Chains A and B, each alone.
Chain A
Amino acid sequence: MTALAVTSATLARVLRDRTALFFMVLLPVAIIVVIGVTVSGFDQFRIGLVPAARNGPVAGELTSELQEAPGLRARTYDTAADARTALRRAELDAVVVVPNSLDADVRAGRSVTVPVLVEPSGSAGHGAVSSVSAVVAEHAARLQAARFASDETDGSFDDALALARTAERAASPIVVRSETVNGQSDFLPLGYSYSTPTMLVLFVFINALAGGAAIVQTRRTGVYARALAAPVAARTLVFGETVAYLLLAALQSLLIVGIGALAFDVKWGDPLAAGALVTVWALVGTGAGVLAGALFRTPEQVHAIGPALGIGMGMLGGCMWPLAVVPDWLRSAGHAVPHAWAVDAWTTLLSRDGDLAAILRDLGVLAAFATALLTLASLALRHRLTTSAGA
């Protein structure tokens, strides 16, 4: 009963603190939005498009085909200089400059070269060139057909071009068809389905760590010492604080899960498995938070070291980028922190429709982390309370 009083006092103090609510709710959601928007559209090359200054119908047709090509994410620029600056700043993979003389050259029977600017050392640019080439080649096929037909019949190029467009629909061209072989992804889905689970992992941990500052503050202000003077056992205080931190971690997780599902349409997968994962991760965070509260001497230390430690561990564990893209040794090193196992489990649930059995190994490792952290935290806090009256 006394433990529950400690729990409710801690909960009330945290929930009354508007700064804490900012870190629990607003900040994670804001970061989810920014990262969710950023990590999307990776199946398209980003190109800058500089339309011809004298935009005839042929140049106009090429421009709109480049804008609508499914493999390209095109952004139009007024001047080549602006587009080059964006390319230099890596905002684009390539820049297509539609030649001013395109219409005149095509009508005169001259071959046309469409310049595509790329960073020479960045091979994404060369991939983008190939994608642009495919669109240009399809466009050129009609020009070739129109020129061939007008040469054969001595007719006008424009009439032949109009016929080529009609004939194209009837000519049953050889098509290139895509077929996805591997539907089981090694990565979280792009967009919010990437940012929401990874930020859940990151922020529940960081907030729990930062919450350790409150325990340090309570120790320093002598609240624990006064409580111990009453007939309250140290283990009761430790248990009460631990339950409070667990409830806060669980509450923050549920908020992120709920906001993710309702606002960002994140499908969290099998409910039982997702529930187990959220619970175990909340236990890991609780252990880390209480341990921080027991080990650090001043709240400043927690505020300084907590975020740095949390962000560093999050990066190592794949919260900021998928571990599949880092070197093998770093991926192995990343699994030294619990975050990597949590992200692996979310990947199984969100990308492979996994169930509880599929994430059992990840849950087991996380449970081991949680047990170790909670045990250490309880022992350390109890030791701190009983040996130095909480200071």
Chain B
Amino acid sequence: MKKIINKPEDLVIEMCQGMAAAHPDKIAFKSKYKLITRKTLNKNKVTLISGGGSGHEPAHGGLVGEGMLDVAVCGDVFASPSTIQVYNAILDSESDKGTLLIVKNYSGDCMNFDAASEMAEEDDDIMVEKVYVNDDIAVKDSLYTVGRRGVAGTVLVHKIAGAAAERGDSLQDVKAVAEKVIANVRSIGFALTSCTVPAKGTPTFELGDDEIEFGVGIHGEPGIARESIKSADTLAQEMVDKLLKDLPFHGGDEVALMVNGLGGTPLQELYVLNNAVYKLLEKANIKVYKTFVGNYMTAIDMAGASLTLLKLDDALKELLDAPVDTIALKQ
């Protein structure tokens, strides 16, 4: 393992402190419960809280700011924050309009965010609602599993729910629009390499030079299939086919497209992938209304990318276009 690191156990705190030092105009870091909060909290809007394990930078701290999140709760690398951390995030950012928790659908996150919201509702009478993002189509969903994972689509949920909250919408309305995004967003990813969790020091899985792992999540957990390396066009085709079938998306649809790097892939490759995807969508008569290319929801240093498509209507377009001022997203 070669990383810019002191001690693995200090990494999250030092990273958050470094982030706050770089952006004192936008965020503040409260180290006791590892909360990255907006510099100034507005009591007259619905509070948006998200978070999860660290290692997905810039998510979630980089998505805190005007038009997006109010608080990001930072767990250890790839591990959900504790119930106590989330509970304190809710207490610290209480507003007059209630709180929405945006949770990625993982067992640990769901348990901790659920338990924390119960505490805040029962002990402190704070209105708390929750939505669970599950955009990853790699995972088969059935009655017998925990369902699909939340991945890069979460960023678009933050963006749109954030705009609705900023506009002054009620808790129920912000929740409804977040759920609308969740219902209309789909993602799929692949890895060219594993990632290396600092505390472990070695790659989570081994991939040969000619192999890729298709359908990976954002924690270095294995995907659904080991495949041989292929051209960008073939890879894009495989992903777009799966995505379009899943919702399904139809000719004439308008979408937001996110080509998200997993942390170890150069921008040039992400743009190559975007080019391939763009051509395929054009062929399918799907109009790309807005594109995001970059690292938004990463898996530390994994080489690879994910594709996210969000089906849009006029209401979602308006919220997607609203101003935002965070470390990772600014418009």
Q: Do A and B come from one complex?
A: no
Which residues of A come within 8 Å of B, CB atoms?
none
